[in-house]
Structure 1
Amino acid sequence: MIYDYIIVGGGSAGSVLAHRLSASGSNRVLVCEAGPDTPPGDEPAEIKDSYPGTAYFDPRFHWTDLKVHTQVVPHNRPEERPPLRKYEQARVLGGGSSINGQMANRGAPTDFEEWVERGAEGWGWDDVLPYFKKVERDLDFDGPLHGKDGRIPVRRLKEEHLGPHAKAACEAFKAAGFKYLPDQNGVFEDGYFSITISNQDEQRASAAMGYLDRETRKRANLTISTETQVTGLLFEGLRCVGVKALVRGQEQEFRANEVLLSSGAIHSPAHLLRAGIGPVAHLREMGVEVRHNLPGVGQGLMDHPAISLSSHLKRSARMDDVHTRRHIQVGLRYSSGLEGIPAGDMFAAAVSKSAWHAVGKQVASFLIWVNKTYSETGQVRLASADWRAEPVVEFNLLSDRRDLDRLMTGFRMMAAIQMTGELGELTSNHFPASYSDRVRKLGVVNSKNRFLTSAISLIMDGPEFIRRRFIEKYVIEGFTFDQVMTDDAALEAFIRKATIGIWHASCSCRMGADDDPRAVVDTQGRVRGVAGLRVVDASIFPVVPCANTNFPTLMAAEKIADAILAG
């Protein structure tokens, strides 16, 4: 059987494409998802949970061997190569939307005007807004900026349901002179707000839940094949005609009129590279026969650089899970004021619980990230031509000095806010936090970590001097709070070491104009110079928007699905 469309990856974009392209009974659609299914009404409890911290660290739901470099990699000094970090990428139906923080925001109108300037004609703010609205069913707001009929419900926590830490953060933001915004997805301006989330009735609303519901799955022309890893693309000359895959361990081939890669900004370029589509020199180095020279494949990888400021949280301010299990309830969008940088270029989230375990409930944080980043020298390359090998991933965060400078000033600004008013009374023992391997391993849900954290929590709630010594010896990695607040060199060193991405990998198969040598796809996701092949996911963004990337990915899939159906 020849399908009309094979979708490689059943994540956020893949779920949208499967739903839209199979709506016409004449289109035969196959979805190949490497991870497990999330059957309607029988989704794993960790995925349904309004708190994402358990799903995100459950090895059942992500690519367990994927590791990346976040720091800048000096290729001329291999001995100074920074350490590898685990980077959780979803491997489950619904993709990132099944394990992420459920943040439902869009970015700044200026982001999409920049997309147009970079060659993505037809992707300006007025062009993409109808598709953002098409995605959502806003449970709180109506009007020209909001959708009411989409497949993904969005809402905000009511003020009376915010936890004590979140309420205190709001008061601290207010005292610092920031404006309260009732709607994060309203007019894009600076201010603090209750975070907009893809969530209803205190349960996650993933792309799989919204777009691959029971009615959609009844379509005879739609096949969803989970536990199916695509191992290669099939070609006849320069036309992609299908895929090779392992279906629950069995090798199979599937043919199609068109193949759509929706495997994310790390694995979509890897598929292209293994198929011989990419920079000639790298393909030859890897022993891959060159099918089509496309220099931009894997280049320009981006994420939002982020750091954390953490504190011990008094018992009275800890989450009680009565109204919500949401750990991030409020956020702040603000402007750095650096010359030439658009407003709203920075973001801070008040994190009222840092992990699922006993110690996580005792630690609150400000997660600060560069909303409008200029670090875009990251790349995805092959480690081997073998499909089993994860690619080499280098984010090169902070490759632009402006990102480093803004995190330095942002850290100290948020430290001052952290010690303001009631928020200062509810927190103590502030420390610059690192998302180290030790922290990550402790985040895995198992009995050993439950026991360990229960024991550690007794120390953390003990006398202040014991807690301070414990934090300095076992929690922080090289820098105390006093050091980074008073010594610029120490603060810079901490940020260079501790900065991580926030799982917003994007831009590695960019849209662009015909004359752009780095453009991989055109404005409908079609791979340049190759027939029958598209990329539809966050990798096609010309530049990462000032947003969590899930909703921009859903928007892009809706827009390209419309273009495909329009012929």
Structure 2
Amino acid sequence: MEYSHIIVGGGSAGSVLANRLSARSGNRVLLLEAGQDTPPGQVPKEIEDTYPGTAYFDPRFHWTELKVRTQVVSHNNPEAAPPPLRKYEQARVLGGGSSINGQMANRGAPTDYDEWAARGAAGWDWDSVLPYFRKVERDLDVNDEWHGREGHIPVRRIPPEHWCEHTRATAEAFRLAGFKYLPDQNGRFEDGYFPVTISNAEERRVSAAVGYLNAQVRARPNLTISTNTQVSGLLFEGRRCLGVTAVVDGQPREFRGREVILSSGAIHSPAILLRNGIGPVGHLREMGIEVRAALPGVGQRLMDHPSISLSSFIRKPARLTEEYSRRHILLGLRYSSGIPEAPRGDMFVAVASKSAWHAVGEQIASLLAFVNKTYSETGQVRLASTRFQDEPVVEFNLLSDRRDLDRLMSGFRMLAAMQLSAPLAAVTTDPFPASYSDRVRQIGVVNERNRWITRAIATLLDGPQALRSWLIDRYVVEGFTFRQVMEDEEALEAFIRKATIGVWHASCSCRMGREDDPMAVVDTEGRVRGVEGLRVVDASIFPVVPCANTNFPVLMTAEKIADAMLAEAEPALTVGGDTRA
């Protein structure tokens, strides 16, 4: 069967594209997803849960072999030992990251998208993208010029009267520090603290797959969804892409179409291009791959938001309860570092009143600070081998720009002062600099062994203060104590260099830009330069990572490019109902 569009990857972008393109009766759309399906009425309970801490630790929904380096890798010093590899919880399930992420539904700053346009993405300035952000959402709380009311993804906020005592105490600490309360995170972009906006309705996650691939859409005769399907290669005739090869439930298959759209994310989309001869000439020749299109930007300038965490023990009365919600991140803070180059709102703090699904996680709060406007743009994705089964080499090179390190250091000091302020001191004890280490990851895997271990530890932590402090220093703190990093500037810098990780916002590795930009991989409608019939539509095409969790910017991007694609042809009848704008 010949398809009009073959979409490789059923994540946020792929779900949007499948919906919008199949709404036109003349199109025949194939959506390929390596992971499992999440059909209506059969969404796994871990994914549907408003609390995301089980889904994003569940290996059933991950590319389990994917590991990355977050610290800067030195390629000029062969004697230096490489930084450690870290497991990276990249989603492998229909809905992609939207099926396992924290359900944070924010957009970024207007200055982000004006910068996109300035970097060569004409037509992607703030005024041009705002209508597509509105098109994505169905805001359940707010009705004004910044919000949509008819989109596929419901968004809402949990109001302060439904917060636990720890969250309320943190908000009071923010207020006393001089920050303004903002009732709407996605309203006018300014500094302040706010109830975080979430992609959630009636205490249930609404992933891109749930929102865009509902029963009506799935019933369309011109849409085929093939899960458990990993693409192994692209088919070409000269420089025209004709389709893909894939493995479906272990069996090799071939699919042909007029256009192939890679929506596999900022790690796997560039890897697919590289394996098929599209990328930097030197690397392709090094791997023994024939060069089909020389595009030096493929896999380059990978970005994420560098982040660090200050944690503490929550006194029992202040802990999260499930009276109103199982959500653990209810409150956020956006603030400006004041460095001359950065726009306002260049820093962000997410307040987690529960740090994991297990009993110890319920006792630990975290103030997670990340650099909203990062200047570290030296990450890269390269091939480890030519086999499609092998994960690529991924180097994020976080903190490659000193400004990011300096802002995390000052941000940690600011959070420490708030942690010691009267409101938080009344509800927490034993603050400590936290690391998302392999030990934390291992205990975070959902299984009965970890359930019993953490119950035992939690019982001890709720015991005498002296025992709790000893246990935290002995078994929780990894390498640096709170006193060390507060009293020793070198210790603080060493801690941040070691413990900084990204926040699963991989982006920018196949950037869109002007035709005369040698590092631009795609044009402003996602078309890959130098080949025909091939697009990339996902976070990899961002010119720079926005000041936001990346899921809503991805949804916006897919909506905008789908609109452009549909505008290329004559209008036709829609099919299958549910074609809300």
> Which bin holds the TM-score, normalised by the shorter protein?
over 0.9
Give the aligned partner of residue 385 of structure 2. 384
- The number of residues matched between the two structures is 567
> Secondary structure in 1 aligned to 2:426?
helix
1:297 to partner: Cα distance: 0.1
1:420 to partner: Cα distance: 1.7
Give the aligned partner of residue 453 of structure 2. 452
Write the distance in 1 (CA, Å) between the matches of 2:271 and 2:217: 30
Give the aligned partner of residue 14 of structure 1. 14
Give the aligned partner of residue 405 of structure 2. 404
Give the aligned partner of residue 341 of structure 1. 342
1:419 and 1:425 in contact (8 A); partners too: no
Aligned-residue RMSD, C-alpha: 0.7
Write the distance in 2 (CA, Å) between the matches of 1:485 and 1:203: 40
1:77 to partner: Cα distance: 2.5
1:138 and 1:146 in contact (8 A); partners too: yes
- Fraction of identical pairs, as percent: 71
Deviations 1:489-531 (A, max 9, x none): 0000000000000000000000000110100000000000110
| Paired letter, 2:47 | I
Write the distance in 1 (CA, Å) between the matches of 2:466 and 2:76: 46
Matches within 5 A, 1:198-209: 198-209=199-210
| Paired letter, 2:272 | H
Give the aligned partner of residue 47 of structure 1. 47
Deviations 1:100-130 (A, max 9, x none): 0000000000000100110000000000000
| 1:75 aligned onto 2:48 | no
> Secondary structure in 1 aligned to 2:442?
helix
| Paired letter, 1:4 | S
| Paired letter, 2:29 | V
| 1:121 aligned onto 2:122 | yes
Write the distance in 2 (CA, Å) between the matches of 1:113 and 1:533: 27
Give the aligned partner of residue 255 of structure 1. 256
Give the aligned partner of residue 4 of structure 1. 4
Give the aligned partner of residue 505 of structure 2. 504
Deviations 1:213-268 (A, max 9, x none): 00000000000000000011110110010000000011000000000000000000
Return 414-423 or 402-411, whichever deviates more: 414-423
| Paired letter, 2:148 | G
| Paired letter, 2:28 | R
Give the aligned partner of residue 186 of structure 2. 185
Give the aligned partner of residue 424 of structure 2. 423
1:109 and 1:188 in contact (8 A); partners too: yes
Write the distance in 2 (CA, Å) between the matches of 1:424 and 1:509: 46
Deviations 1:268-289 (A, max 9, x none): 0000000000001101111111
Give the aligned partner of residue 57 of structure 1. 57
Give the aligned partner of residue 301 of structure 1. 302
1:265 and 1:508 in contact (8 A); partners too: yes
1:461 to partner: Cα distance: 1.3
> Secondary structure in 1 aligned to 2:54?
helix
Give the aligned partner of residue 274 of structure 1. 275
Give the aligned partner of residue 108 of structure 1. 109
Give the aligned partner of residue 317 of structure 2. 316
Give the aligned partner of residue 370 of structure 1. 371
1:422 to partner: Cα distance: 2.4
Write the distance in 1 (CA, Å) between the matches of 2:67 and 2:554: 23
| 1:37 aligned onto 2:37 | yes
Give the aligned partner of residue 472 of structure 1. 473
Write the distance in 1 (CA, Å) between the matches of 2:470 and 2:160: 37
| Paired letter, 2:15 | S
Write the distance in 2 (CA, Å) between the matches of 1:222 and 1:418: 52
1:421 to partner: Cα distance: 2.2
Write the distance in 2 (CA, Å) between the matches of 1:312 and 1:77: 41
Write the distance in 1 (CA, Å) between the matches of 2:478 and 2:84: 15
Write the distance in 2 (CA, Å) between the matches of 1:80 and 1:37: 41
| Paired letter, 1:281 | G
Give the aligned partner of residue 558 of structure 1. 559
Deviations 1:323-374 (A, max 9, x none): 0011100000000001121000000111100000000000001000000000
Write the distance in 1 (CA, Å) between the matches of 2:176 and 2:340: 26
1:33 to partner: Cα distance: 0.1
| 1:442 aligned onto 2:443 | yes
Give the aligned partner of residue 132 of structure 1. 133
Write the distance in 1 (CA, Å) between the matches of 2:358 and 2:466: 23
Write the distance in 2 (CA, Å) between the matches of 1:279 and 1:19: 33
> Secondary structure in 1 aligned to 2:301?
strand
Give the aligned partner of residue 96 of structure 1. 97
1:469 to partner: Cα distance: 1.7
Write the distance in 2 (CA, Å) between the matches of 1:187 and 1:167: 23
- TM-score normalised to structure 1 length: 0.99
Write the distance in 2 (CA, Å) between the matches of 1:101 and 1:232: 32
Write the distance in 1 (CA, Å) between the matches of 2:76 and 2:375: 23
| Paired letter, 1:19 | N
> Secondary structure in 1 aligned to 2:390?
coil
| Paired letter, 2:190 | E
> Secondary structure in 2 aligned to 1:241?
strand
1:194 to partner: Cα distance: 0.2
> Secondary structure in 2 aligned to 1:492?
helix
1:310 and 1:365 in contact (8 A); partners too: yes
1:26 to partner: Cα distance: 1.1
1:381 and 1:391 in contact (8 A); partners too: yes
1:447 to partner: Cα distance: 0.6
1:82 to partner: Cα distance: 0.3
Give the aligned partner of residue 532 of structure 2. 531
Give the aligned partner of residue 264 of structure 1. 265
Write the distance in 1 (CA, Å) between the matches of 2:159 and 2:222: 42
Q: Which runs of 4+ in 1 moved over 6 A?
A: none
| 1:165 aligned onto 2:166 | yes
1:42 to partner: Cα distance: 1.4
| Paired letter, 1:10 | G
> Secondary structure in 2 aligned to 1:408?
helix
> Secondary structure in 2 aligned to 1:516?
coil
1:472 to partner: Cα distance: 1.6
| Paired letter, 1:35 | G
Deviations 1:359-397 (A, max 9, x none): 000000100000000001000000001101100000000
